[in-house]
Chain A
Amino acid sequence: MKRFIGFVTKEFYHIFRDKRTMFILFGMPMVQIMLFGFAITNEINNVNIAVFDQSKDSETQQIINKISASKYFKIVNQITHEAQIESVFRTGKVKAVLVFEKDFIQNLQNKKTVKVQVITDATDPNMANTITNYINAILQNYSQEINKNVKPVYQIQTQTQLYYNQELKSVFTFVPGVMTVILMLVSAMMTSISITREKEMGTMEVLLVSPIKPFQVVIGKVFPYIFLSIINAAIILLLGVFVFEMPIEGSLFLLVLESILFIITALSLGILISTIAQSQQTAMMFSLAGLMLPVIILSGFIFPISSMPLPLQILSNIIPAKWFIIIIKAIMLKGATIQTIWKETLILIGMTVLFIAISIKKYKIRLE
Chain B
Amino acid sequence: MSIKVQNISKSYNKIKAVEAISFEVNEGEIFGLIGPDGAGKTTIFRILTTLLFADEGTASIADFDVVKEYKSIRNCVGYMPGKFSLYQDLSVEENLTFFATLFGTTIEENYDLIKDIYIQIEPFKTRRAGALSGGMKQKLALCCALIHKPKVLFLDEPTTGVDPVSRKEFWQMLKRLQQKGITILVSTPYMDEAALCDRIALIQKGEILKIDSPHNIIEKYDKTIYDVRAKNTYQLLLDLKSYTSRYSVYAFGESIHYTDRETEFDSEALKKYLEDKKHTEIEIRMTKPTIEDVFMDL
Question: What is A's interface to B at a CB cutoff of 8 Å?
Answer: 2-3, 5-7, 9-10, 13-14, 17-18, 201-203, 205-212, 365-368
A14-B89, A17-B89, A203-B86 are contacts. A209–B102 as well, Cβ < 8 Å? no
Question: Measured between alpha carbons, how far is A18 from B99 in the docked complex, in Å?
Answer: 21
Q: Are B79 and A206 in contact (CB under 8 A)?
A: yes
Contact A205 B85 (CB under 8 A): yes
Q: In the complex, what residues of A have CB within 8 A of residue B98's CB?
A: 6-7, 9-10
Count how many chain B residues have C-beta atoms less than 8 Å from C-beta atoms of the other chain: 30
B104 contact from A2, A13, A365, Cβ within 8 A: A2
Other-chain contact of B84, A202, A211, A212 (Cβ < 8 Å) = A202
Give the chain B neighbours of A205 by CB distance below 8 A.
Answer: 51, 79, 81, 85
B49 within 8 A of A: yes
Docked pose: A368 CA to B70 CA in angstroms: 15
Docked-complex contact A3 and B101, CB < 8 angstroms: yes
Closest 8 CB pairs of A and B: A6-B101, A202-B85, A209-B79, A202-B83, A367-B51, A17-B89, A209-B49, A206-B85
- Complex CA gap A318/B30 in Å reads 57
- In the assembled complex, the Cα of A111 lies from the Cα of B150 at a distance in Å of 103
Contact at A366–B52, with CB atoms within 8 Å? yes
- Contact check, A368 vs B52: say whether CB atoms are below 8 A apart: yes
Distance (Å) between the CB of B152 and the closest chain A CB? Answer: 11
B87 and A10 contact, CB distance less than 8 A: yes
Given contacts A6-B98, A203-B85, contact A211 B103 (CB under 8 A): yes
8 pairs, A vs B, C-beta closer than 8 Å: A3-B101, A7-B101, A201-B85, A202-B81, A206-B81, A206-B85, A206-B144, A210-B99
From 33 to 85 in chain B, residues with beta carbon under 8 angstroms from any chain A beta carbon are: 46, 49-53, 70-71, 74-75, 77, 79, 81, 83-85
Contact of A209 among B50, B84, B97, B104 (CB under 8 A): B50
Q: What residues of chain B have their CB less than 8 Å away from a CB belonging to chain A? A: 46, 49-53, 70-71, 74-75, 77, 79, 81, 83-90, 94, 97-99, 101-104, 144
Q: Does A10 lie within 8 Å of B51, measured CB to CB? A: no
- Judging by beta carbons under 8 Å apart, are A18 and B89 in contact? yes
Are the CB atoms of B52 and A367 closer together than 8 Å?
yes
Identify the closest chain A residue to B144 (Cβ).
A206
Which residues does chain A contribute within 8 Å of B103, judged by CB atoms? 210-211
Inter-chain CA distance A88–B267, complex, in Å, is 104
- A208-B104 contact given A10-B90, A202-B85, CB 8 Å threshold: no
Contacts of B144 in A (CB 8 A): 206
Q: How far is the CB of B47 from chain A (nearest CB, A)?
A: 10
A210 touches B74 (CB 8 A): yes
Q: Return chain B residues, CB-CB under 8 Å to A7.
A: 98, 101-102
Question: Once the chains are docked, how many angstroms separate the CA of A60 from the CA of B16?
Answer: 91
Residues on A with C-beta less than 8 A from B101 are 2-3, 5-7
Q: Which B residue's beta carbon lies closest to that of A205?
A: B81
A366-B53 CB under 8 A given contacts A203-B85, A203-B87: yes
In the docked arrangement, what's the CA distance between A7 and B81, Å? 20
List, in ascending order, chain B residues with CB within 8 A of A13's CB.
87, 89-90, 94
